[in-house]
Structure 1
């Protein structure tokens, strides 16, 4: 019960942060368009800020999707014979999610490690690239944990079905 409540709080926090990122990206875009139409000037760093905030929002949503196993599945097979295909497709999807999340984490981790100590910054906002990449790597690490939780949940639900 406590684990479920804690997991829900973490998921709610991640979704709130992701929603805030999407809202920020949308607000910056609206403000930029408004300024262009009214004053003929653009909002400095609008494109970069929008891209970074929406990208971070998507990254923060990934752990929740993985943990809740809300990934895309093959509806055609599962609708043709739900009892036969639900378990294998669920496990396959969960395993592929873990593999994909791990692959993204390793690639980004190596890229982040190569940038440690670098003076590079983002072009418009001047954000430190090592710090920005570390945030992305951390979000991908949380996604990997979410994928593992989803795999564990899928495994347990399948074992419960077999006992029936």
Structure 2
């Protein structure tokens, strides 16, 4: 059983301060939208969580209809607790607790209108590493949902569009 008393990293309320560290990658990506009411409007950003189990398998959220996957990525409120939000999301969607073990990437997400290069909003995507608290957590049966949870022991190229931010985030955890 893993120690559940503490995460092994502290994340400040402004995670962009972490980008000054040499061991954390800092990047900027642009996200085009049809209008300024995008999915992260009114949020600080997203806590993107790479959960790997003891076997090194990566937890993915798979849109069954589209055949695409993402890492769990809850939206974080302004002044929100990034690690608490990440952990709560995993409990909610996967049914088990995790411990945050590292910060892998700070992404400055620049939001633009389609066909316009002017940034109208900027949020932060903080890519966190995590591990389950339980030794072998079971994934819930989500038969009634349009999505599923899956463990992957290698990069599932059929579930990602190469070069997209979600693909690059998954590659941080599996080859």
Larger radius of gyration: 1
TM-score category of the 2 structures, normalised to the smaller one? under 0.3
TM-score between the two structures when normalised by the length of structure 1: 0.24
Q: More relative contact order in 1 or in 2 (CA 8 Å, sep 6+)?
A: 2
Normalized per residue, the structure richer in strand is 2
By percentage of residues, which structure has more helix? Answer: 1
